[in-house]
């Protein structure tokens, strides 16, 4: 097989599939469609090696197999190459978006090549998959549930954290919840909290830098929205209690937060008017309903919210 189209919602599973295809070949070249043209890619694919070595060409982020658009000219170039590919090049296209099988280029790959869709396990299937991986240790189910929650249900996040466990524990060791919390919380949640802080501070660069990372590993933006709503609620309740002249001690009791958390909320609240926070909460609530009803595409809708937030 010389032509592949791979789709996955997991970078870990995508990399695993690619490695199965290239089989440790030393002759692997990678392109990103975002930084290249179809002409560049096909010139590389068609390059004639003097020694006729087998070459693997990986083309990443090919969104034109899904919602992205490709010009008629570029579509025709691809179809022509598919009809007469260079025999010593294995061409591998990858995408993290759902494939549109109605497109002519997709139909052609399905006809002469191989289309593989690899979805990461979700919900109970994710729990079973992680439990199986963790079976080399002695771990209670509630520890595995904590790991999944702390990693925002991200299969890729979980794989990174499980890899780290082998540096500290050996097969057969008992791993307690407290030990897991020491390892996972400071690492996985760090970027999540940085993202929420960046949104509250309206740090545009940090917001979209972190969001791009989250989208790459298919983090559900609804989870990010929930954490943001939680932070806005703290700020909103703080503003109300402050307006009612509650003491810091009473506010901390009402919000059920520690002193350091209250200091952080106080600093955040100083940047906003109470009505603004209320508007954000209402907007996010409506956004949540429209996303879950299928009216809005969640990634696009959340990014639009962030852009509008930065304009004010």
CATH number at residue 153: 1.10.8
pLDDT at 141: 95
pLDDT at 67: 82
Mean pLDDT for each consecutive 10-residue tract of the chain (312 residues)? 89 93 91 90 86 88 88 94 92 92 94 94 93 96 90 85 90 93 67 88 90 79 88 92 90 85 89 91 92 89 91 73
Domain match, 18 and 128 both = no
Domain match, 161 and 213 both = no
Q: Residue 48: which residues within 8 A CB-CB, separation 6 or more?
A: 86
Q: Distance between CA atoms of 274 and 237, rounded to whole angstroms?
A: 9
Q: Which domain holds residue 128?
A: 123-186
In this structure, what CATH number is given to the domain that contains residue 195? 1.20.272.10
Domain match, 297 and 193 both = yes
Q: Distance between CA atoms of 309 and 216, rounded to whole angstroms?
A: 22
Domain match, 132 and 106 both = no
- How many CA atoms lie within 13 Å of 131's alpha carbon, on the beta-carbon side? 11
Domain match, 199 and 99 both = no
In this structure, what CATH number is given to the domain that contains residue 79? 3.40.50.300
Domain match, 288 and 248 both = yes
Looking at the chain, list the stretches that DSSP marks H as alpha helix, in order from N- to C-terminal side. 11-22, 38-46, 72-83, 104-112, 123-133, 141-150, 155-168, 177-184, 188-201, 204-216, 221-243, 248-255, 259-269, 274-292, 298-310
Q: pTM to 2 decimals?
A: 0.64
Percent of residues, the chain, with pLDDT higher than 70 = 97
Tokens (6 digits) for 24 = 């440790």
Overall domain count for the chain: 3
pLDDT at 1: 55
pLDDT at 189: 59
pLDDT at 137: 96
pLDDT at 260: 83
pLDDT at 34: 81
Domain match, 193 and 277 both = yes
Each residue's pLDDT tens digit, 18-28:
999 999 888 99
pLDDT at 185: 59
Each residue's pLDDT tens digit, 83-111:
999 999 999 999 988 899 999 999 999 99
pLDDT at 138: 96
């Amino acid at each position: 097989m010389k032509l592949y189209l791979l789709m996955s919602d997991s970078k870990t599973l995508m990399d695993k599939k690619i490695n199965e295809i290239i089989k440790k070949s030393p002759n692997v070249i990678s392109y990103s469609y975002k930084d290249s043209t179809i002409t560049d890619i096909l010139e590389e694919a068609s390059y004639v090696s003097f020694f006729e070595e087998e070459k693997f060409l990986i083309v990443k982020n090919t969104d034109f197999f899904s919602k992205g658009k490709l010009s008629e000219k570029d579509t025709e170039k691809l179809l022509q190459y598919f009809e007469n590919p260079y025999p010593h090049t294995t061409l591998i296209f990858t995408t993290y978006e759902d494939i549109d099988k109605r497109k002519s280029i997709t139909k052609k790959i399905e006809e002469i090549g191989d289309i593989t869709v690899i979805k990461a396990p979700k919900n109970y299937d994710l729990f079973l998959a992680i439990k199986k991986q963790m079976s080399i240790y002695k771990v209670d189910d509630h520890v595995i549930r904590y790991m999944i929650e702390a990693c925002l249900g991200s299969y890729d996040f979980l794989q990174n954290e499980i890899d780290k466990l082998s540096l500290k524990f050996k097969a057969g060791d008992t791993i307690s919840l407290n030990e897991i919390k020491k390892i996972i919380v400071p690492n996985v949640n760090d970027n999540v909290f940085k993202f929420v802080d960046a949104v509250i501070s309206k740090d545009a660069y940090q917001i979209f830098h972190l969001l791009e990372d989250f989208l790459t590993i298919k983090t559900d933006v609804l989870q990010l929205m929930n954490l943001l709503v939680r932070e806005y609620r703290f700020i909103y309740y703080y503003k109300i209690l402050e307006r009612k002249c509650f003491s810091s001690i009473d506010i901390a009791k009402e919000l059920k937060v520690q002193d350091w958390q209250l200091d952080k909320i106080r600093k955040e609240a100083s940047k906003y008017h109470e009505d603004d926070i209320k508007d954000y909460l209402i907007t996010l609530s409506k956004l949540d309903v429209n996303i879950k009803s299928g009216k809005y595409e969640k990634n696009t809708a959340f990014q639009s919210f962030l852009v509008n937030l930065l304009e004010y």
